[in-house]
Amino acid sequence: MNGSYRGLSLHHGYPVWRLLCCLLLLVLPGVLQAAVTPQDAQINLQAGRNEYVLSLHLQYLEDADHTLDLDGARQALQAGRFQGGQTQALNLGFTESAYWFYLRIHNRNSTRNQWVLESLYSIMDQLDVYYRFNDGREQHQQAGDSVMFHQRARAHHNINFGLELAAGETVDVFIRAQTTGAIQMPVMLWSEVAFADKVSTEQIVFGLYYGMLFSLGIYNLLLFLVIRDRNYLLYVFYIASYGLFQMSLNGLAFQYLWPDSPDWNNRSIACLMGIGMFFITLFSHSFLALKNNSPFLSKVFIGFMVVYLGIAAATFVLPYQLVIRTGTLASTFGVLCIMTSAVVCLIKRFRPARYFFVSWAVLLLGMLAYTLKTFSLLPANFITEYAIQIGSVLEVLLLSLALADRIRILQDENQRMQARVNEELEQHVRERTLELERANRKLEELSTTDGLTGLKNRRHFNEVFALECKRTSRSGDTLSVILIDIDHFKNLNDSYGHLLGDECIKAVADAIAKAAFRQTDTKCRYGGEEFVVLMPSTPAEGALRVAGNIQEAIRALEIPHQGKKLAVTASLGVATVASEHEDAVRDVLAQADQALYQAKASGRNAVVSFSRGFTSGQVKKA
């Protein structure tokens, strides 16, 4: 049974078909269970073995009113209230109850002391693990997709906990699970070495998988820019939304994109499910030309799209349990509707529907192979383990071919419509003109953007500053300027190199952009390690408050370097002016520069405000 449940949770699957499989498992949790002998609640670690399936050894107890603590769970165990004997990894479905799980681990003679306990279902809100060793020691660890990512024992997309267990030692393990979604408990125990090998394999697979999606997305985006067929653009949105949802579903988004936002991570799956299904439905509606091929199904698709957008929006206002269940059900019916539409278009001999139908059929076969592997009806190997990934990649490739085939069909039709060549040519000229205008606007945008930080550059600042000076002098309103200079930046560059210096500049730019969040504010890289924030209609108090926020945001930065984290500080100069004379308004930049100089002279890492009541050399420290 060694490794027979590796990857048992459905989080690796393609999102749409994963939802179908989840619904099946939730409604019929006993269907298709393989004939596996129930296990007792003890695992014995043996020499030469580096991974263990814990799922069948777990005993469990429902805590419907959330009143049990660890002592209560122990008493319930002694009273025989825990139950077990399952022949599949526990799938308790959507529930508002908390659950306690128990097993005992005894290191009989394994030379491995360091172990990793891993939950293969990465979207559980919170798991608390309590270790009680035979010498009386106790440990508590907490992780989950609603808990800060850094609390995990290993920086891995699956929930995991560390365990140190020497030969001859025994530990009682209590696990408390609580989530707003479904409770599934496929659990593995890995030695440190085996876990590292597993992570290495996963990185290769996920790298190839997401690399393929990214490449196909870029390829189809370029095709859209050349061909101008909206189906290519919709397909790019299809791939992008699917990829982001998939990353959120398997925990990679929490690991790499928003590790410090557990609340958003907890809601992201339902939100991205709605967005992903919206673009899948929109692409299918456009590709199958349902307005012409089936006006009734076209209206049904539009209804589904409204529902999916509602699900995405409801994520932020309604209880997550209601949204995820509604989204799962709506996605299931949406997929069935898409397959039905493909069949209808095939019956009507709509030629582009051929590849479309085959691509979804391939995905379904991958899903079926993975499901049969899950229930031990197919052998566990690389093909069945990653059958859904393989099927989904083939599905994406086939849809790309379907788009190409669609273009070829359109070209054949165009050859039979030579009488409209002149009209089409004129249309192409108009399209190219619009394309050139878009390109010019894009070039203009690029010319005013700093390539390193993504902020606006000094050229853009000078243009905006001139306009704001005119506006302020006419209206008599206030205009504030904040100048920011990274402290000791030259020393940082000299000590750690320009690459780290660039990382520091980008991090500071991000901190400034987040701290000064008004749309009317202009945030620019002024030059080198200097930045400027232009704030129209902002009094001195407001500018000082924003400057303080920027200072704190920069002060909180930690730049990673060779296992260390380097602190960053900055000096800020603030000036505010209100005058009817444009030249006087323009002086605000020089005043902010004087305040910045004073901030440096006063020891740096300070905010200094220029006071118009003082002489040019007098400043006031914020």
Specify whether the CB–CB gap between 172 and 122 falls below 8 A. no
Stretch (H or E) spanning 608 = strand 607-610
3-state helix, strand, coil in the chain (%, to 5): 55, 20, 25
**Residue closest to 169 by CA, chosen among 103, 107, 104:** 107
Phi, psi for residue 527 in degrees, rounded to 5:
150, 135
565 CB-contact burial (10 Å; exposed 0-12 / middle 13-18 / buried 19+): exposed
The type of residue at 319 is P
| 254-266 exposure pattern, b = at least 16 Cβ within 10 A, e = fewer | bbeeeeeebebbb
Which residues are registered as beta bridge partners of 118? 160, 188
Which residues are within 8 A (CB) of 482 and not within 5 positions of it... i.e. 6 or more apart? Answer: 516, 532, 533, 535, 543, 546, 547, 550, 572, 573, 574, 592
Place of tokens 């190219």: 432
420 CB-contact burial (10 Å; exposed 0-12 / middle 13-18 / buried 19+): exposed
The type of residue at 63 is D
> 467 is written with which tokens?
């306009």
Distance set, CA 277 to CA 304, 394, 400 (Å) = 9, 19, 18
Q: Round to whole Å and give the CA distance between 29 and 88.
A: 9
549 CB-contact burial (10 Å; exposed 0-12 / middle 13-18 / buried 19+): middle
Q: Round to whole Å and give the CA distance between 341 and 360.
A: 12
* Cα radius of gyration rounded to whole Å, the chain: 30
Positive or negative, the CA dihedral 93, 94, 95, 99 is positive
Q: Round to whole Å and give the CA distance between 223 and 239.
A: 14
Annotate 113-165 with DSSP letters as a single string. -EEEEEES-TT-SEEEEEEEETTS-EEEEEE-TTS-GGGSSSS-SSEEEEEE-
Decide the pairing of beta strands 570-577 and 479-486.
antiparallel
**Residue closest to 189 by CA, chosen among 328, 53, 333:** 53
Instruction: Please confirm, yes or no, whether 529 is among the known catalytic residues.
Output: yes
Stretch (H or E) spanning 109 = none
> 526 is written with which tokens?
């002024």
The type of residue at 394 is L
Among the listed residues 529, 552, 558, 580, the single catalytic one is 529
DSSP tag of 12:
G
3-class DSSP state of 592: helix
Q: Round to whole Å and give the CA distance between 561 and 77.
A: 48
Q: How far apart are the first and last CA of the chain?
A: 67
Q: Round to whole Å and give the CA distance between 590 and 125.
A: 52
* Catalytic residue list: 529
